[in-house]
Structure 1
Amino acid sequence: MNKIEFIVEHENSGTRIDSFLSDKVEDKSRSYFQGLIEEGNVLVNDNVKKSNYKLKENDKIEVMFPEATELEVIAQDIPLDIIYEDSDVIVINKPQDMVVHPAPGNYEGTLVNGLLFHCKDLSGINGIIRPGIVHRIDKDTSGVLVIAKNDNSHNKLSEQLKDHSMTRTYYALVEGKIKNDNGIVDMPLGRNPKDRLKMAIVKDGKRAVTHYEVLERYESCTLVKCNLETGRTHQIRVHMAYIGHPLVGDKIYGYKKQRFKLQGQMLHAKKLGFTHPKSNEYVEFESELPKYFKDVLKKLEKELI
């Protein structure tokens, strides 16, 4: 079992312990630390505290990380829509209704299962469950993502995500007519305190910035282009719902009554650009809007005639 320790400084006095730890430890969420706290793996001054404990200056925090128990992920012959591939990266056009990597209750049929069949080598930085996975898109979001074939590529791509130099452009169909031609949503995101499975705008959340531009206004919907400055979980979905224009088909953050028969939100990762980890040249990849997206737009265009 790995262990790390912190001594709380004055500037962090009054901060919730779960928020403090998620900010200090990269790639670990607040809900992850809440689980550790409940299991007694986090001590404050040698005592177990609750997740909402407010830290005091000079508190000593000990965090014990249990050894990860990774299951074997099987390779499966799943067709992959490969946009580009070389010895360092693979750029995939992910279809809607495909999970990126295995998770409890869903260990087969994911993008990772297909990648393991297609490739002999993938970056091992994210372990057995997420080999090569640098960033993710939701199960019901389609579009472009890049996978690292080796650790060097993974590290360089991760740095670009961290410093916001990676270009990520999404097309989204949202409810209602957006009045402004463009705008910026700069609101922090974190786990919804009332529903841990959802994200929400929260004061002590992580900074999240979405730039949007109107591409087309229909009778009851608006097609927008969204550029991500940050890449938080469900960022576009929560931000657009926050400004009163949830994504069409989004049953979690949108309307309960859905006009179109969709299996998920109308969100497509249209463009991805990054500096290639070996050549150091900027490269950019795009994917066409998928059939499900085009079909809805055709129906909306008929209403304008």
Structure 2
Amino acid sequence: MITIETHIAVTQKEPIRFQDYGTGIFTGISTKSALKKAIKKGLIYIDEKKASTGTFIYGSEKITFNKPEENNTKKRLNLKLEVVFQDNYLAIINKPPGILVSGNTFKTIDNALEQNITKSSLPDATKPRPVHRLDFPTTGLLIIGKTSASILALNKLFENKKIQKTYLAVTIGEMIKKGTINTNVDNKEAFTTYNVLKTVTSNKFNYLNLVKLEPKTGRKHQLRVHLSSINNPILGDAKYGIPGKIIKGKGLYLHAYSLDFTHPFTNKKISVTKEPHNKYTKIFPML
């Protein structure tokens, strides 16, 4: 038996190829590669005609995905997530440590979203999708798109650097109070500004610092690489830390603390913060 998912295309300012529009509008088709495979198998129709990657989407087209029923009976990930904010377009969750945002494993944030986030009532509602990433050990705020249009719009905001992200980290060693780090990451330009909020002495590490970080670029492991490059690695960083000064069992002390951006549909200012885990307050009680 075949089940059918239906999607009504959002009106476009300019026509867009289906291979660029269709990613993420149906459950299980989260990449261009998966979309192309579904099209090749003849599973997707646009206005009752078989879709092709070059079909142009103008808006209001009826797009259907014919999906084997067994895909609907797949195991659901039972993982409780804290939803910090949500509306009909997007959501913001508090990512726990020790879990991938997405990937080829069962236990990911991506696989837990449908069980935690209210489905949008808009015509282009789709499976909730993360629109950026946090590292496996990093905690904190993660933005989720709930409609096809919002996923595209949020990606555009990130591309144009219109979303301001602030992190909190605990770093090791004596540290200059503020500055900018511009060490290349993966041979690409990368910029991070930092401000030391508080420093305490430590028998094991000499000094521990509570640091506010604002990445101006979004390279993989950027904050961890940058702080390591100035000999102030993040506490608990097994990959970029100093040998002999890596604690075990406490995780990485890096937290995505705040997000500030203009909502792409309501034009309201979104400013969300999430306090870090109480392991931070054991070092810095003022938190």
- TM norm structure 1: 0.63
Paired amino acid for 1:218: V
User: Against the structure 1 CA distance between its residues 141 and 74, is the aligned structure 2 distance closer, same or farther, given a 3 Å change threshold?
Assistant: same
Give the structure 1 partner of residue 280 of structure 2.
Answer: 293
Determine whether 1:83 maps to 2:84.
yes
Tell me, which stretches of 5 or more residues in structure 1 are unaligned?
1-64, 191-204
Determine whether 1:155 maps to 2:142.
no
Give the structure 1 partner of residue 189 of structure 2.
Answer: 207
User: Against the structure 1 CA distance between its residues 182 and 112, is the aligned structure 2 distance closer, same or farther, given a 3 Å change threshold?
Assistant: same
- Match of 1:183, SS state, is strand
Residue identity over aligned pairs, in percent, reads 29
Q: 1:135 aligns with which of 108, 132, 136?
A: 132
Paired amino acid for 1:90: A
Q: How many residues of Structure 1 are paired with residues of Structure 2 in the alignment?
A: 214
- Give the superposed CA RMSD: 2.9
Paired amino acid for 1:157: L
User: Against the structure 1 CA distance between its residues 67 and 112, is the aligned structure 2 distance closer, same or farther, given a 3 Å change threshold?
Assistant: closer
Give the structure 2 partner of residue 274 of structure 1.
Answer: 261
Give the structure 2 partner of residue 111 of structure 1.
Answer: 109
Give the structure 2 partner of residue 186 of structure 1.
Answer: 182
Q: Distance in 2 between matches of 1:289 and 1:151?
A: 31
Q: Distance in 1 between matches of 2:35 and 2:146?
A: 25
Q: Distance in 1 between matches of 2:249 and 2:168?
A: 16
Shift, 1:228, TM fit: 1.3
Paired amino acid for 1:79: K
Determine whether 1:174 maps to 2:171.
yes
Shift, 1:69, TM fit: 7.2
Tell me, which stretches of 5 or more residues in structure 2 are unaligned?
1-32, 39-70, 202-206
- Structure 1's consecutive aligned runs of 4 or more residues displaced over 6 angstroms after TM superposition are 65-70
Counting only pairs closer than 5 Å after superposition, residues 87-102 of structure 1 correspond to structure 2 as 87-102=88-103
- TM norm structure 2: 0.67
Are 1:170 and 1:271, in contact at CA under 8 Å, matched by a contact in 2? yes
- Match of 1:251, SS state, is coil
State the Cα deviation string for residues 58-109 of structure 1 (Å, max 9, x = none).
Answer: xxxxxxx898779x67432321111111111111011112221232xx222x
Are 1:74 and 1:116, in contact at CA under 8 Å, matched by a contact in 2? no
